[in-house]
Amino acid sequence: MTTSTASRTTRGRRRVLAAAAAGANTGGTEVGHASGTYSHDTGYKLDFSRTTCLTSWVHGTYTYIGLRGDGAPQYEAASGNVYADEGNHWDVTYYSCGC
């Protein structure tokens, strides 16, 4: 990875974190989430409040990749992480650290 690519990646992560901070982390590893390899239980998923700021960022920055099996629209970051709009919150699967 070049220095400029690493710098852009770092800036992008900071923007996502700032947008998410405008809302609240509403779910993590607590009881009640589905199990599986890439799940809340294993630490790969977090839920964030569906704020205007975060929603605008996701829609404007990431690639729409279609509907999830439950009908939630999904957006993919360049890192491969997936943001699913579950209506009242964002369900985010972190496949990588964004590096």
pLDDT digit string, tens, across residues 16-74: 555 555 555 555 444 555 666 666 676 778 888 888 988 999 999 999 999 999 999 99
Give the span between the Cα atoms of 38 and 44, in whole angstroms: 5
pLDDT given for residue 18 in this prediction = 57
20: its two tokens: 């998410």
**Is the whole model's pTM more than 0.95, yes or no?**
no
Instruction: Yes or no: say if 89 and 27 are a contact pair by the CB < 8 Å rule.
Output: yes
Q: Domain segments of the chain: what residues?
A: 3-93
